[in-house]
Amino acid sequence: MGVQQRIPPLLARQIGFAHRGARAHVQENTLEAFALAQRLGANGLESDVWITQDGVCVLDHDGVVKRKLRSRPISEFERNALPDWIPTVSDLIEMGDNDANISLDVKDIRAMPELVKLLLSQQNSSQYWLCHPDLQFLQQWVGRVGDIHLVHSTRLTAMKFGPERHAATLLEAGVHCVNMPFPDWNGGLVALFHRFNIFAFGWNLQYPEVIRSGLLMGLDGVFSDWSDRLADEMQRVNPL
């Protein structure tokens, strides 16, 4: 078997996103998980955003608070009524490294105005990546988010007219990043999107050899539950 050749990414420094923090080691989407991910060497953090009844952007995967009798959506709670382990976006920003990239999946689109306002108030808004599967929704925010990156989360099978047409559509729409599950990617597809100056992200890379393959094929960002594996493979592919 031949050695996989490295394809250069568009980003000067590839991003290893800790998916929901270091969720392979501790409870996901907690400040503990995000802090551990950074200690283990991840240079990016990922989570999902919802908004509370009183307009606070918080981080959780499912967007519900589970009680003994029934579950209720986060949108029905004020911030102070949520469980202590659910952090706010502000909490994450305050505890993160100044140069850490943060990818946020906007699960409740009602959170977008407050989220954008919050991120634009930070010193370096270019370190934030806002993901959503609805391209039309993302287009509504083009030109309104400063240096924040808009990311189209999709799958190869959803590209009705093929990846080249989709890359051209993203470029025309002003959305400059696409995020797909890793099995959808190959080096040729990464090169295709890069040709249109579209950043390429891949998610669900869990094993060292898979993470290494994604980095070598030129993905600009990779998402994993294993922050230690991310850090090891990024150092292997991009030695300082």
Answer whether residue 218 is part of any domain: yes
- Can you tell me whether residue 123 is helix, strand or coil? coil
**CATH number of the domain that 205 lies in?**
3.20.20.190
- Can you tell me whether residue 128 is helix, strand or coil? strand
Mean pLDDT, residues 144-148: 98
Greater confidence (123 vs 102) lies with 102
Average pLDDT, the chain: 95
Query: How many domains would you assign to the chain?
Result: 1
Answer whether residue 217 is part of any domain: yes
Mean pLDDT, residues 109-116: 98
The pLDDT confidence band at residue 2, using thresholds 50, 70 and 90, is low
Mean pLDDT, residues 135-162: 97
Q: How many CB atoms lie within 10 A of CB 173?
A: 15
State which residues form the domain around 104.
Answer: 15-27+37-46+99-237
Answer whether residue 59 is part of any domain: no
- Render pLDDT for 68-86 as a digit per residue (tens, 0 to 9): 778 899 999 999 999 999 9
CA 137 – CA 21 distance, rounded (Å): 26
pLDDT of residue 209: 97
Answer whether residue 1 is part of any domain: no
Answer whether residue 195 is part of any domain: yes
CA 169 – CA 206 distance, rounded (Å): 30
Answer whether residue 66 is part of any domain: no
pLDDT of residue 106: 98
Whether the CB-CB separation of 61 and 28 falls below 8 Å is answered with yes
Greater confidence (67 vs 11) lies with 11
Looking at the DSSP bridge assignments, the partners of residue 102 are 45, 128
Mean pLDDT, residues 52-64: 97
Fill in the amino acid letter for 235. Q
- Can you tell me whether residue 169 is helix, strand or coil? helix
Residue 130 clears pLDDT 60, i.e. is over it: yes
CA 162 – CA 79 distance, rounded (Å): 43
Question: What is the CA 234 to chain-centroid distance, rounded?
Answer: 17
- Can you tell me whether residue 176 is helix, strand or coil? coil
Answer whether residue 221 is part of any domain: yes
Answer whether residue 106 is part of any domain: yes
Residue 50 clears pLDDT 70, i.e. is over it: yes
CA 230 – CA 208 distance, rounded (Å): 8
pLDDT of residue 240: 67
The pLDDT confidence band at residue 239, using thresholds 50, 70 and 90, is confident
Comparing 66-80, 125-139, 205-219, which segment has the lowest mean pLDDT? 66-80
Say what the pTM is. 0.95
pLDDT of residue 1: 47
